[in-house]
Structure 1
């Protein structure tokens, strides 16, 4: 019996799989690309065993949402993609979230002097700070731009 070419062909997308320790995905620096990156991050967390609605899953999902939104809003360069990378460290019980964009000269900053109730934006990094053990910015490896990263504690690593 022969197998059809359709079942042998590998997917162009990095499908969420439980056995991989790193999930990496390039996405267009657009709202549609950001939605896809958020959804795939959520699926990958579920594949790793942190089910939808658990604190670790929801924290990672919210951090990814904030960072990819910032990459699309503030780090967009026409014609350049952004990248999402999730890494699971079972030994230390941590998840590292990285979002890279092509704008190296624009680094995220917290609102100077805090936020007022009337401010419409600027709360994303406050949320990231509250949910992550630590976060920061580094030069993008092998490409122009920057990588904003956050580390989330994942107790009870599945």
Structure 2
């Protein structure tokens, strides 16, 4: 994934159900801090993307799951970078809701 000039909030989390819940919660909090309220489309979409990616990591580990189809539909771009230990997964999404 190429580096982006957009805001980012990297976090290292365990591939467990607890880590997946924490990922979604941290996403909601960070987007709210960036001016996208919890009930905004951007915040909801980001939470859904993070939830699908985290659930995929917990459930499938190295094998892509069906949630990645949803990620492909909701994200502008997404990708995976292999690391010495584990992987880094990232997504980009539009900060404006369609039609606004």
Name stretches of at least 5 consecutive residues in structure 2 with no aligned partner: 1-6
Give the structure 1 partner of residue 45 of structure 2.
59
Which structure has the bigger radius of gyration?
Answer: 1
Give the structure 1 partner of residue 85 of structure 2.
144
Say which of 86, 95, 98 aligns to 1:154. Answer: 95
Give the structure 1 partner of residue 31 of structure 2.
45
Give the whole-Å Cα distance in 2 for the aligned partners of 1:39 and 1:24: 14
Name stretches of at least 5 consecutive residues in structure 1 with no aligned partner: 1-20, 76-105, 110-121
Runs of 4 or more off by more than 6 Å in structure 1? Answer: none
TM-score for the superposition, normalised by structure 1? 0.51
Distance 1:147 1:26, change over 3 A: closer
Q: Is the helix fraction higher in 1 or 2?
A: 2
Equivalenced residue count is: 91
Instruction: Please provide the CA RMSD for this pair.
Output: 1.9
Q: Is the strand fraction higher in 1 or 2?
A: 1
